[in-house]
Structure 1
């Protein structure tokens, strides 16, 4: 092979490597939807719709995993909310899902009771939605590694609000620079870390860790607080005052949840 061909093929190889690396680092987008409900009847309507209509349709249209979570019994909103987590590869996929569902006759039939519910018998009180983008430190969502019964698990959904955009971005930097690594080291099996693009209580980040039960969840936080890596970063001046409010929800996955 002469020198010009060698240079040509080397350039192609480098371009391919850069392209592949960029693709690997492309960040997911997430919809986090909260259905606020008033009674067990609405919860049943939602369970039927999500398990038998929405999730199968999402799978059909290229969304491999969908998470559905509910507050554990000790939470103030137990029986009053259902959380839906939908990961998307792009904003186009997010925007395009609604039109796909509108044309999907199998989905329309399976979800008819929900879709065509009467104003006098709605399946929820209100819907609250946030659009999120995965942090660079974990650009793709991950399935929990837990194998115990779903009803016994504790999935911890946290939102950290910042007093200003600058301080919020510093907290995001803190996660990307080492805070995520601590959760991984402690086997907290995180599903996602994300920045809120649109939603309530901005500026804020949102993340979810998973634990076998409440005792293990509490032990994980005890270990986190005494971890040397956390001790080495928590008092750094650049991370001072980065969280003005911590909103924590303790959930468990529905039996039909993919995550």
Structure 2
């Protein structure tokens, strides 16, 4: 936007009254906002991991998620909720909850027990007997989004839901210093940018603030199919920018262990 010459003459306005200055501010506000857009607010995530012993528990947990948990979270102002299951016969369920308010993210389980609709709709889960649990074990992982991707992104996938692959990766560092080096590799080193350029349809990248594996980062990418996933990783391994980055000794030895979990989204998942 080109600013008229008269408006560039700040002396004219500064020598005027406050009304003129106020008019100038509101005139320039759209231009200032366009030139310096406000960055998106950073998100935090709670990743709930339910370990289940059989299909009976899985069915009960599916019902709880659909009828009680997700409606309650939406009522509390949380965004889209992702629910995923491994492509193998492993009966584990992952629930991804985003929020820009960390305190709210940590407090929702306590607040849920004060909500009448949640208690009624989730009665089987909340009031289950000690010898008939809905799950065998539960984990809560708290994460903070990377600077290069401060908010979750719904993947742009068009194929059949049943064919889509969501890949959840966990990278542990041998020391805190080397772990931070790997985080830097994703952000300043532009590993995130390489994934984006190659079309990995990332859902999130984040540092683990609290979890059973520390120090640790996690991220999730998505693909139309298993074959497309294989093709993307093959292209990634051959990419010139990636080869240069992985060959930089500054980023050497910054991952001590990795877990790769391939998932399908549940029919009621919002990602």
TM-score by length of structure 2 reads 0.86
* Alpha-carbon offset, residue 96 of structure 1: 3.3
Cα distance, 1:145 vs structure 2: 1.0
Unaligned runs of 5+ residues in structure 1 are none
Q: Secondary structure at the match of 1:50?
A: helix
* Residue 79 (structure 2) aligned to one of 60, 64, 69: 64
Asked if 1:235 is matched to 2:250, the reply is: no
Residues of 1 paired with 2:13 and 2:225: CA distance? 64
Q: What is the alpha-carbon distance in structure 1 between the residues aligned to residue 126 and residue 158 of structure 2?
A: 34
- What residue in structure 1 maps to residue 217 of structure 2? 205
- Could you tell me how far apart the structure 1 residues matched to 2:161 and 2:92 are? 17
Q: 2:121 aligns with which of 107, 110, 116?
A: 110
Supply the RMSD in Å over aligned alpha carbons.
2.2
Residues 38 and 212 from structure 1, CA distance in 2 versus in 1: closer, same or farther, beyond 3 angstroms? same
1:96 match: secondary structure: helix
**Secondary structure of 1:249 counterpart:** strand
Structure 2: tracts of 5 or more residues without a match: 1-11
- Secondary structure in structure 2 of the residue aligned to 1:121: coil
1:115, CA displacement in angstroms?
0.8
Identify the residue that residue 166 of structure 1 maps to in structure 2.
177
Report Cα offsets for 1:77-128 as digits up to 9, x if no partner: x342101110011112213323432222112111111111111110000101
* Residues in 2 aligned to 1:7 and 1:213: alpha-carbon distance in whole angstroms: 58
Aligned length: 252
Query: In 2, Cα distance between the equivalents of 1:145 and 1:231?
Result: 27
Name the residue aligned to 2:146: 135
* Partners of 2:149 and 2:205 within 8 A in 1: yes
Provide the C-alpha distance between the structure 2 equivalents of 1:121 and 1:141, rounded to a whole number of angstroms. 35
CA contact (8 A) 1:160 1:243 kept: yes
Structure 1 residue 153 corresponds to structure 2 residue 164: yes
Bigger shift: residues 180-189 or 97-106: 97-106
Classify the secondary structure of the residue corresponding to 1:194: strand
Structure 1 residue 42 displacement after superposition: 0.2
Tell me which stretches of 4 or more aligned residues in structure 1 moved more than 4 Å: 4-14
Q: CA deviation at 1:223?
A: 0.3
**Kept after mapping to 2: 8 A contact 1:40/1:79:** no
Query: If the length of structure 1 is used for normalisation, what is the TM-score?
Result: 0.90
3-state DSSP class of the match of 1:114? helix
Q: 1:21 Cα shift?
A: 5.3
Alpha-carbon spacing, 1:224–1:49, altered in 2? closer, same or farther (3 Å):
same
- The answer to whether the Cα contact below 8 Å between 1:39 and 1:79 also exists between their aligned partners in 2 is no
Matches of 1:235 and 1:242 in 2, distance apart?
13
* Equivalent residue in structure 1 for 2:94, among 50, 73, 83: 83
Give 1 or 2 for the bigger CA radius of gyration.
2
Which SS does the other structure have where 2:142 is aligned?
strand
The answer to whether the aligner puts 1:190 opposite 2:202 as a matched pair is yes
Partner of 2:227: 215
Residue 119 of structure 2 aligns to a residue whose secondary structure is helix
Q: Note the C-alpha offset of 1:50.
A: 0.4
- What per-residue deviation string (whole Å, max 9, x for no partner) do you get for residues 2-56 of structure 1? 2255777659959x85xx856x343100001110000000000000000111011
Aligned equivalents of 2:245 and 2:90: distance in 1?
Answer: 38
